[in-house]
Each structure stands twice: as structure tokens, then as C-alpha cells.
Amino acid sequence: MLIEQLNYTTSPRYNFPPSIENLQLPQTFIELSLSSMKNIESKYLQPNQTSLTQPVIEHIEDATPIMGIYDSSTIETISLEPLIDERPVAAIDVSSIRIGETETGVLCAIRGAIVWKEKNRYKYHRLGPFPFHITEQNKKEIYNLFRNHHFEISEDARAPSIINMQTRIGNLLERWLQLEISCSAYSTIILWDGSLTAGMVDSPVNEMSRLLETARNRLSIVLAFSKNTNLRFSGHKLTDFAEKAEPPCLLQINGFPLPSGPVMPLGDIYVAKLTPGVCSFRLDIDKKVPRERGIEAVQCLLGSDLLIQSYPETLRLAHIFSTFTATEVIGIQRFIAQQYGLRIVARPNVRRLLFGPFGKGSEG
């Protein structure tokens, strides 16, 4: 098994679709990153105190507002058998990190990763990190970027707070990468980190439906793995019911209640326990894919990818390659300070000043 970074000049074309080999973000995204950094009007940079211990802002993995399942529901166990057909597997993940604060705004960085497995070889392609300096003056310009790229945002909608803008930018990058893979991959198992839940600002129903439809039209299937879930059955977390199940298997809920609000799931919801161990995950499979094809895709994943603790290796690598390490955070802070003439200053830890050794937790 090999892992290598995509090389544009020497990679065989059969390992990646041509459009992935030439993957480029919309120029607007790159220009916005550069312009936001050029407009830094500050004399100092205050590094984020929690960035070294909690570097990544995770996106919401399960926003489904259904917190319970009717007692009349039943759980069906679906046994699985690995299918060896060498189907390609692709995974996408994006991470964001808060670098620190300036006199006028917040500095953050966004990075995405695509991992592709085919013919017993793993390859990856990193995009970023893209630094952003978000201020009250430019956050509206950044927010308009979403509206201009098919996000259903009303003209009258107010831009979110500076803190929330970091997550919005990361989600936008993730949607672009998901769309690129859906458009270019053929007969591929596409893995997303999170759930197939739509109806929120960052995941409008029309946009999410278009991503899934594009994948279906190219005979690909989207499987979304959530490491955490809010769904409960008889007061217990849904994934707890897989503890005694014999892997590999799926647990399906029959009689699952449909949501009545604007947030809705676009996938059939399962619990996946694919290998022995303590871990199981919520798994969403595009609900417009026939049930038999969806289950077959999971069996192909078992035969095509390495799984540890029920989690696909391609998705694990995508997370690793997109996540910022503590060393990288320090390097980005030093580079930005030097590049833009900022003086790094230590921010007083208010909790430590007030509570001494009991002053634990984030600032606030």
C-alpha cells in the first residue's frame, strides 16, 4: 500500500480523473484570500491561546433536529459481505484554524484535502492553507461570495459574526471540493465527513441535492460518515445499539419519523459497524439511490478500502492531511507576522489572572 501526493507531471492519468489532476479553486476564492491579507492594518498579532491544544474547528456533523425515534420504530440488522471489484474510493475533508487576532479583525486559515484510492494505491491532493483576515469591513464581501456561488442567501440576509465567518468559509471550500469530485469521478464511492443533512445556510437543499444528483448521474454513490450523532432511540444514542452487533453490518431504522422543519435529511440513515472494535458510526446513503445499490456500495467499500475501527482509511487520511498541527500553527503565525510586519504579543489570560490554577477552559 502506497501513499503519495499527486504529482501533476508524472501521475498516470488513470489514477485521477483529468479534472482532478487540474483541480483549481474558483479564482474568486484565492483573490479574496490575498486581498483580505493585503488589507491588514495592525501593528500586532495576538496568537490564539487555544489554537495549539484545540487547533481545528469541526463542522457540525449531525444537525438533524430529530432527537428521538418513535417507539413503534424497529431496528433491522443487515449483514454485509465484502465485494472485491476494485471500485475507486474518494474522500474529502476540510479544516479551519483560528490563527489569532489583530487590532481590526481575526486571522484564520482554511485547508482542504482529497484522498483517492485506486489499484491499491492512495494518493492525496492538498489545497491551502488559505489565510484570511476577517474584519467588520470585509465580512460582507466574503459573505457575498456564498451568494455568488449558488448558496441560497437572501439579499437582505445579514453577514454573520466574524467568529462564524471562519466556519462559513471552510464549508464553502468543502462544497466546492465535493462538487468537483461529483463532476469528475465516475463509478466511484465518494466519502463525506458529516451527514447528508440540508436546509441550513451552508447546506441549502437545492445545492446539496445538486451535488448528490451529479454524483448519481456519473454512477457514483455518496456515503457520509458522522463520528457523532444526536439521534436517539428509547433514550439511548443511536450508535450504542451496534455494541452487540456482529460486524460487518448495518443497522437500519424502520419507521423513522420525517422532519417537519426546514432542515431535512437527504440520505437514508444507518448505523455502520464494519469491523470488530468499540466504534460505530452514523452512515447516510443518498436516499435516491436504490436501497440494494446503497448496501452494495458499502460492501464494495469493505472490499476496496482498508477499514480500522469501522472507519474508512481514505476518509481518515483526508482528515489527517487537512488538519493543522501545532507546529504548522506556529509556522503560519510567524510567517504572517514577518510578511506583514506584525509584532507578536502575548494576550493576558483573564481566567488565569482571576482564578489562578482553577482558571481552565477557553477564554470568554
Instruction: Find the angle CA(272)-CA(218)-CA(123) to the nearest 5 degrees.
Output: 65
Total H helices, total E strands in the chain: 9, 18
Instruction: Domain ranges for the chain, please list them.
Output: 2-358
pTM of the model: 0.84
Q: How far is residue 247's CA from residue 310's CA, in Å, rounded to a whole number?
A: 9
Per-residue pLDDT of the chain (364 residues; tens, 9 = 90+): 445 554 433 333 334 455 555 566 777 778 888 888 887 877 778 887 654 434 444 444 444 444 444 454 577 889 999 998 788 999 999 999 999 988 888 999 999 999 999 888 899 999 889 999 998 888 888 777 766 655 555 555 566 778 888 888 888 889 889 988 999 899 999 999 999 988 877 788 888 999 999 999 999 999 999 988 777 766 677 777 778 888 999 998 776 666 666 788 899 989 999 999 888 999 999 999 999 999 999 999 999 999 999 999 999 999 999 999 999 999 999 999 888 888 888 777 787 888 888 876 655 4
Helical pair 139-147 and 27-38, crossing angle rounded to 10 deg: 180
Sign of CA dihedral 328, 330, 331, 333: positive
Pairing verdict, β 105-118 and 307-308: unpaired
